[in-house]
Amino acid sequence: MTTLPFHRCRNPNMYLPPVDLSFKKINSLEDPSNSVRLLRRNSHMKYQSRSLRLCHNNITDLHDLHKPVSHFLAKPSQLAWLDLSFNKISHIDRVLCELRELRVLYLHANSIFILPEVDRLGALPLLHTITLHGNVIETNKAYRWDRKILDRLLMEQSPLTVLELGAHCGYSSVRIARVELIVDPSDEVIPKLRSEYGLERLDFVFMDHWKKCYTPDLQMLEGSGLLGKGSLIVADNVLFPGAPKFLRHIRKSGLYEWKVHRATLEYSKGIRDGMAELVYQGIN
């Protein structure tokens, strides 16, 4: 199986090196640990970074989160990447919902146990990655609902060759099978799957990367000759955050028998989402 986690659509300048406040116990607003990468500051000696690491601090309450954020960051309202892992946080404080530019939030290895509280994070319009493993919440039956759909489809199809587009922690990859990891833009790798990697056919493709990349990547696969009649493509989060161009393409192309499995967004019961199942029929 081939996993392609990166694509050109990604903005490489989104995240500068993080301000590292890990292992500080946050009992004083002292300067962060020395970093192997020099952090840029403005004229007020505040950091230009949009990333903040607060892991391993024994944090139990996020009520005063604004203090380190505003003290160290030049533009606290622009915080995009926040690591709160390995603390003792048990509740999702509404203060997180004030970070409107937040894209990545690490909350793994805490003490979060109420799944509906995670729904509050649905108010963050740009949030695309959240980690919750290592919390009591993992025992909730609604946790990672979409993987149950994935397991069932894999059992029904028994694919031999699989392409996965998008991998954060590799959870889907581990569930699917043996992995060959290729860390390159998918638009560079897909054209070489036949010539350089020796693939003749893709039985199963799982797409869970940047939603705006779904359509160009699918079109590239259609032109590659690697999709055969019966090839199964599964695309996650097609309703939220959504992939309308992707759904419009598969509807107009006439190349697929398809349907959308409706459920709620992983970790957030109140947000409706869906996983698209496409069975390639070939060109008539």
Catalytic residue set: 208, 211, 236-237, 266
Q: How many CB atoms lie within 10 A of CB 136?
A: 14
Would you list the DSSP string of 242-282? Answer: I-HHHHHHHHHH--EEEEEEEEE-TT-TTSEEEEEEEEE--
Residue type, 146: D
**Spatial contact of 17 and 51, defined as CB atoms under 8 Å apart:** yes
Of 14, 18, 74, 12, give the one whose Cα is nearest residue 48: 74
Angle formed at CA 10 by CA 76 and CA 78, multiple of 5 degrees: 5
